[in-house]
Chains A and B, each alone.
Chain A
Amino acid sequence: MRVYLDHAATTPLLPEIVTYYADVLSEYPGNASSLHYEGQHSRQLYNWAKQTIADCIHVDYDEIIFTSGGTEADNMALFGCLKAIKNSHPERKKVITSSIEHEAVIESVKALGKMGYEIVFAPVSANGIVEIDYLKQQIDEKTAICSIMFANNEVGTIQPIRQISTLCQKAGCFFHTDAVQAMGKVEQDVNELGVDMLSASAHKFYGPKGVGFLYIKKGTPLEPVFYGGGHEGGLRSGTENVPGVAAMAKALKIVTGKIEEKRMQYQKWTDQILNTCKQIQGVQLNGDPDKRTPGSLSLSFSGINGEALMGMLSMDEIAVSTASACRSHSHSKGGSHVLTAMNCPLEFINGTIRVVLGWDNTDEQIDYFCDKLMEKVTLLRRLSNG
């Protein structure tokens, strides 16, 4: 039995999405920008996808731009908006973000720093929530953009987005949020949130890889990052990915309708896992105990190495990760930048695994995982303590 518990890295396509995606691939060959039947047939579906996504997050049709995923949406928001206000607001040269963002934002902001922008990385509390008092001091009339993630990818903490958007409105700066980890897990009334821009990625909510979107509030200035055939109102050139966006829209619609049901199911399972951890002892749950995305657990075990635990579990067909999947590529002793920013001691950081539940999990799988977790931690502790 394979048990996949790494749904923050990516989610498998829902079975009905697999069928639907394949059907669209074969039935909609036309270029959505062509004027003949094939083209208009594809255009119709493309428009339906955009309207569906707009409805799911309570915004208007023309406030959605389709992208190749979360990374592109983040880059488009930051670089595109700054480019657009460069001449109209030359005094706004400050870009504010948090120290626990995804690399797509962190690296973009660092690049902006090299281009001459003043960049600020706001600290977070030990719970992984951005320091709102610090933001209050920093967000001012010199600020161009503030970008704070909706929910963190390693520890799952949900940030006070509503509060931050109020600060940004007062200071007259733009506010972007990377909602890649929250979309489909937390109800999204984006209009009510007060953000100017919001990024999402389909493969985190059971849609296909290689497709995502950027919400951009009407009136927010944006220049394109890609130039070409003028697709998406000239803001994102490139032939429309009709099957991708249709499958994404369908997935988001299904997932949005079941947020509450899944929340309750995940609550039961995370309680069970945390109870197992209590028996194991010497386990710390990272991040805020309440303000978190349902089904996300970052667990630090004393006296063992997280990579060894991940390896042991992997041999018994269980997939968890150590930090975020992107970080597993590089060998860094410093470990997770998120846990480091939360002042988590290095020994704990090295003993951390991330467990993120998803739609494909079952009671039987969680029972199996809890048994194996207890067995492997005991084994590894015997290896380190004798």
Chain B
Amino acid sequence: MAVIKYTKEVIEHFKNPKNVGEIENPDGGATVGSPACGDQVTVSLKIKDNRIEDIKFLSYGCASNIATGSIVTELAKGKSVDEAKKMTWKDAVDELGGLPPVKVHCSVLAVDGLKAAIQDYEEKKLGIKHERKIDEQSIIEKLKSVIYPKTGHNIIDEKLVKYLKYENGKVEIEISFDETDVYKQNVLEEIDEHLHEIDGVEEIDVKVVEY
């Protein structure tokens, strides 16, 4: 807290987080992240007439992880399922009055948790099968969830990814960093984590190149 500057809104949601807990017999639920990474969010939903009637979250994470869990559930409550699906991590960050770049990934995780819970609802309650076609475009979409901590933008928009190929379950990526970039290891771990979430991806080969 001494080093990282948070807004009033973040501190308020961290001190008094809203919607903490787990809904009994939820209509949808999901856990994303892992305690080993230091970030984990569990989201559970109650849906009535295609609207999010109730939503709760549990967080095993840092201050901004807790604050983003609180704000995302606040924003989603009362929204229709379709509206909620359109929410982005930028909505959460804006509502909090901004997040330090190194903490933007927390808002991505919270929104991912919400979307995974909705997907769980659609699959279990509505029987909607989510098509899981993997191609280079869908991998790029996934990589947009990987935030470069130095700037708070994703690695695709930052143009760090120089080459990408997908074939028979194998992803090949070339990514460029300065030799001295302190965030390199962190980004590589995040890429690995996110791509492993895609069913069907079996092998990930990330090369660091210098341009």
Contact = CB atoms under 8 A, between A and B. Distances in A.
Interface of A: 303-305, 307-308, 310-312, 314-315, 319, 328-335, 345-347, 350, 382-386
Interface stretch (B47-55, B89-97, B170-178, B179-187): B179-187
Interface string B50-76: 000000001111110110000000000
A319 B1 CA distance: 10
A382 B149 contact: no
Contacts of A308: 14, 61-63, 65-66
Contact of A328 (B2, B14, B66, B182): B2
B38 A333 contact: yes
A346 B59 CA distance: 17
B161 to A, nearest CB: 20
Contacts of A315: 1, 11, 15
A305 B61 contact: yes
A383 B20 contact: yes
B179 to A, nearest CB: 11
A384 B1 contact: no
B206 to A, nearest CB: 16
A328 B3 contact: yes
Contacts of A305: 38-39, 60-62, 65
Which one of B60, B102, B185, B186 has the highest number of Cβ atoms from chain A below 10 Å of its Cβ? B60
A384 B58 contact: yes
Contacts of A314: 1-2
Given A308-B65, A347-B36, A384 B60 contact: yes
B91 to A, nearest CB: 22
Nearest to B6: A311
A327 B36 CA distance: 18
Given A328-B2, A345-B36, A383-B17, 15 more contacts: A305-B39, A308-B61, A311-B63, A314-B1, A333-B185, A333-B186, A335-B38, A346-B37, A350-B35, A350-B36, A383-B20, A383-B58, A383-B66, A386-B20, A386-B58
Contact of A350 (B38, B66, B183, B189): B38
B17 to A, nearest CB: 7
7 contacts: A303-B60, A305-B60, A307-B63, A308-B62, A333-B185, A347-B35, A347-B36
B36 A332 contact: no
Contacts of B22: 386
A332 B185 contact: yes
A323 B62 CA distance: 14
A328 B22 CA distance: 32
B15 A333 contact: no
Contact of A386 (B21, B36, B40, B62): B21
Contacts of B149: 331
A383 B186 contact: no
A247 to B, nearest CB: 25
A319 B3 CA distance: 12
Which one of A311, A319, A333 has the highest number of Cβ atoms from chain B below 10 Å of its Cβ? A311
8 cross-chain pairs, A with B, having the tightest CB-CB distances, nearest first? A307-B62, A384-B60, A311-B63, A350-B38, A346-B36, A314-B1, A331-B102, A386-B22
A330 B11 CA distance: 21
Nearest to A311: B63
A315 B6 CA distance: 12
Interface string B15-29: 101001110000000
Interface in B171-211: 182-183, 185-186, 189
